[in-house]
Amino acid sequence: MKTILLALTLSLCAILPVSATQSPELKIRAAEATIRGLPTEHAIIFNSAGDIVARFDAGTADDVRISINGFAGDIMTHNHTLNVSFSTADVDNAREMGLSQLRVVEPDGVTCALTATADHPFVMMWLTDDYPHTIDSIGAEDFNWDGVWRHYAALYGLRYGCSR
């Protein structure tokens, strides 16, 4: 009897598609691998299960045209052609779209993510009193977006991190 059960389990595993057993993060990372390092920007939107719900490929080296309606709660990633984190326009789009997470893949292999929650949604920081203070505290000469988003996340209760 044990042998039959084991054999049944093994055959069930064999017919399940690989994607059904992958975590959302793994599915998103697999899609990100297809756009990392491309010469123009591409954006891909996922649901919370990590399945692709939309993609936008009409990009230039500096940006990519996306539609912002209908993606509340979703996760959006895109590639940058330079090794820099999010622009203010990126985060403003995420705020307007009501995304749960915004991601960017850089050519050098770094992936950054800014994650919002219901209690701590994306905020338009650069039109508030905090923005000049943030720029001052980081230092204009030593300006870096990574530092801006670390500060932004700490200030508004979002999560920000980059990894390889």
Binding site for Zn ion (CB under 5 A): 90
User: Cβ closer to Zn ion: 16 or 82?
Assistant: 82
User: Cβ closer to Zn ion: 22 or 68?
Assistant: 68
Helical H runs in 2-126? 2-15, 18-21, 24-33, 88-97
Closest distance of CB 129 from Zn ion, Å: 25
Question: In this chain, which residue has its C-beta nearest to Zn ion?
Answer: 90
Closest distance of CB 139 from Zn ion, Å: 23
User: Cβ closer to Zn ion: 22 or 95?
Assistant: 95
Closest distance of CB 17 from Zn ion, Å: 32
Crossing angle (nearest 10°) for helices 145-156 and 130-138: 130
The residue type found at 13 is C
CA of 87: how far to CAs of 8, 105, 147, 148, in Å? 51, 13, 12, 10
